[in-house]
Structure 1
Amino acid sequence: MSTKVMRRLPLIGIVVVLVLALASIMIPRANTAPQRVALLGTTLPQNPAPGFSLRDQFGARVSLRQFRGHPVVLTFMDSNCTALCPVVAETVHRSLSEMGSAGRNVAVLAISTNPEHDTSATIRRFSNQHHLLNRWHFLTSPRGELQPIWDAYHLYVAPASSSPLVDQHHTSATYLLDKRGRERVLMTADPATSDLITDLRILLGLRPQATTAFGVPAPEAGHPAPLFAARTLDGRSVSLRSLRGKVVLLNFWATWCTACKSEVPMLSRWYRQTRGRNLMVLGVNEQEDRGTVAAYLRKYAMPYPVALDESSVLGARYDVAALPKSLIVDGQGVVQMVKLGELSEHDFAAHVAPLLNR
């Protein structure tokens, strides 16, 4: 090799290195950072929420600062209201209930918009009606002390009315504050339950819960089971509310499903063995007519009741995308197990028997 060629090799190497270096700068790299889940509602610029200190329905002094470390639902209410306030209160209650144990880590504050007529008695009555008496702080004070708070949260409240029977007009606003006390979301009018749950789970640092075709949270272990009402093949009405106090095994099935057929002997045995021990096995037939189901039951005896879900209303509510699907719900209406596919003896031993032995 000539000396001339040998001298060029280092120069070529330097050029290659420079080209690769430039390429690494110019070619965009894949973003491997985890993607933030977007909050719903109107997102706010994360400013510190204006502070306040007021008295609640029990006369206790409550300040916003004491809830640092917890997401806060901050809303504005009139305990005498007959229009939107009761709807928002019910949405808050339903959202906390459907969140299960996670909901206990959320603080809820309601500030009066009718201080002249929001008395301790009316506030406690309103709170009781919406199952929130011991779950939220309904705060009030004289109008002069509340006005700066309303202004700070951009709330319009009409002048005082002489009668408590007249709805006090005010802006409907529900703020969601994060654990650091910052304004994160504003929801106006009546927030959707699913939106409120999604945002609160994000602010708690939990993954958003999947939703069904109805836009409600899909059933998950540890969360309340969606309420339902249906009719069995023999015409009896059955509802989850009427089964409260019992362990409920919901089994979604169809006559064409081979795995569903394989489960019948085992489900029948569980049903017979636990009679009198507070277990209700309920088969839910999906999208088949009464005649088809009746003919199948004459051939394959099922001792437990079978509900018809011809339009798949229950199936949508319970997020049934394939069969069989089974859920075990405890006596308090909380889902303890969700299983897609054929049940096993292990499922009974691990999830049903412990509930019956409590």
Structure 2
Amino acid sequence: MTSGKDQELCAFGASVLLKHLQALETEMHGVRSGGEDIEYIHRMRVATRRLRAALPLFEACLPARQRPIWLKEIRKITRAMGAARDADVQLAHLQTYASTLNDPLQRRGVARLLLRLRQHRESLQPEVLHALDRFAASGTLPVMRAVLEPMAAASVGPPFSHALYRHAAASIQPRLEAFLSYDAIVARPEAVAELHAMRIAAKHLRYTLETFSPLYASGLKPWLTAIRQTQETLGNIHDCDVWGQFLPVFIEEERARVIAFYGNPRPFRRLLPGIEGYLADRTAERQRAYAGFVEQWNAWQRRRFWQQLGEVIHQPLLEAHRLYPPPPEVTPEDETGAPSSDENAPEDAPLR
């Protein structure tokens, strides 16, 4: 049986989870259509990630047997959407780049790269649909809704309880610390893996901030704006790194295809300038994006911007502590009825 404070926390958590659940259900129909709007699969993937991020935050409120099953099923659908989403992003960017080219010699190679990417994306769609079918058959969504809707019905608005603010701070702080732990590698452009890991830490912090932002008067907007910017910039850097690894391999594989088809590599020479031109474009973009990120990061650090976030999330707890100081610690002697070391300690007003 949960206490009143726990009920408020659980009601708040259930409301958050239901919002992400609704977003997931809404986008499933668009993903099935396989249409030209690539944002369906993006929004659905984001909804599954937000669900996965929020479920552990409120795990004490959820059925112990069902919780790991829900996480497992949602994780599977996220992974199934991942490869398709990555291919969509690559195609969209390459199509935009191709539209800027006037040199036919450049356009040939990019056209071949687009062809191979389209073929790859089409090959992924059956697995996307199969994953949706498996997810629907698992019954995860209706079961989650049946558990969460009664819980969310008890939700109340501000003023929020001390327990809810304490849980918010305890959830945000470790993710903030994990994100800031990458400060030492920001000045290392060659730290490809670490910069990608920083992006993942930024994503986890962002989803946690979004979960608890309604508790704070500012909505944590300055930090949410900054963390989105960080995630997008580091994502751009990562995409450039992926292209930098992929394109040299693609060149060798496509050369081998041409030789197998024509018996010699000469026709491939017409494709090479366009592919190498795109590789040079991605290399230059990586340098530009990285330089901008370092400049912005250093500006934030000079202002103690991220440290101020820690102060903001703990401020409601400090206010509650000032108004309602915690009771003195109880010693074993106190529990046996022996006089305490401070017999004149005043009784404390209870926390809400």
Shorter-chain TM band: under 0.3
TM-score in terms of structure 1 length? 0.23
Which entry has the higher C-alpha Rg, 1 or 2? 1
Answer 1 or 2: higher relative contact order, Cα 8 Å, separation at least 6.
Answer: 2
Q: Which structure features the higher share of helix residues?
A: 2
Q: Which structure features the higher share of strand residues?
A: 1
TM-score in terms of structure 2 length? 0.23
